[in-house]
Amino acid sequence: MSPRRLALAAAGAAAVVAGAAGASPSPTFHQLLDAGIPIYCGGGTKPYVALTFDDGPGPFSTRLVALLRQYHARATFFNIGQKVVRKPRVVRLEASVGAIGDHSFTHPNLITLPPAQIRSELGRTQNAIRKATRRKVVLFRPPFGDNAAEILGIARRLGMLEVMWNQDSGDASEASTPSSQEIYQNLVDRVRAGGIVLMHEDEVVPRTLDALRMFLPVLEQEGLHAVTVPVLLRLDPPPLDAVAKGSGGCNSSWHPAG
């Protein structure tokens, strides 16, 4: 079954389940956007995870895309606007294996900026990605994961859902310089169904690439599929009451058969 038909079938099944007595409907993307709070994970009830990469496009992005293709994995790339302007071809390459999100134009700490400058950081990046890919940009992640109501509101008015994470690969740890083996072990220990996984594609990518090369076969063996954030939210959306709890509302109830 094609990915599009799979998505339509899953959406239809969700609608049937929602219509059953006592069942609450799964939130749509627009309902999640209107809720005005960040997303940390999917529902954790189906065999999907979302791999995400911040700070690109970078010098190793083409190798990362090739690795994802090798394992039929999809990912979401939260790109920095000024890098998008310099490397539009690489951004288009990334878009061929996933979704592209907004990670600001210069990677500042947004909570220190006035509203007009925050809007400029987000809007310029949105425009740069749209120009490079001819796709609408509907996802945003703040630099450093720093958050505030003002930032959320601006992203929402620009039509973007703020996406955080609940599973950290630790590839950019400030406390140490993790080896590829340590990053791999973090992934094995932490990644579960419904997870949104944080990784990076700047100078740390050689280690991250080596870790992914070891981890993607494990993901396959566990029966988990690496999808984009939009696909995760469509096929396995988190309940709105769980979204309101932030990362504390993330749970994984799916387990491989046997």
The total of other beta-carbon atoms located within 10 Å of residue 167's CB is: 26
- Does residue 120 fall inside a structural domain? yes
Task: Tell me if 258 is assigned to some domain.
Answer: no
pLDDT in tens, 174-215: 777 899 999 999 999 999 999 999 999 986 678 999 999 999
200 lies in some domain:
yes
Task: Give the pLDDT band of residue 147 (cuts 50, 70, 90).
Answer: confident
From first CA to last CA, the distance across the chain in angstroms is 24
Query: Predicted confidence band at 26 (pLDDT cuts at 50, 70, 90)?
Result: low
Q: How many domains does the chain have?
A: 1
Three-state SS annotation for 72-137: CCCEEEEECHHHHHHCHHHHHHHHCCEEEEECCCCCCCHHHCCHHHHHHHHHHHHHHHHHHHCCCC
On whether residue 110 sits in a domain, the answer given is: yes
Nearest Cα to Cα of residue 202 among 174, 227, 172, 178: 172
* Structure tokens given for 63: 């190798």
User: For residue 148, is it within any domain?
Assistant: yes
Domain annotation covers residue 4: no
pTM: 0.88
Task: Provide the residue range defining the domain that includes 74.
Answer: 35-241
- pLDDT of 253 over the 60 cut: yes
pLDDT of residue 16: 30
Average pLDDT of the chain, as a whole number? 89
What's the rounded Cα separation, in Å, for the pair 14 and 26?
A: 7
Within-domain flag for 224:
yes
CATH of the domain at 192: 3.20.20.370
| pLDDT at position 172 | 87
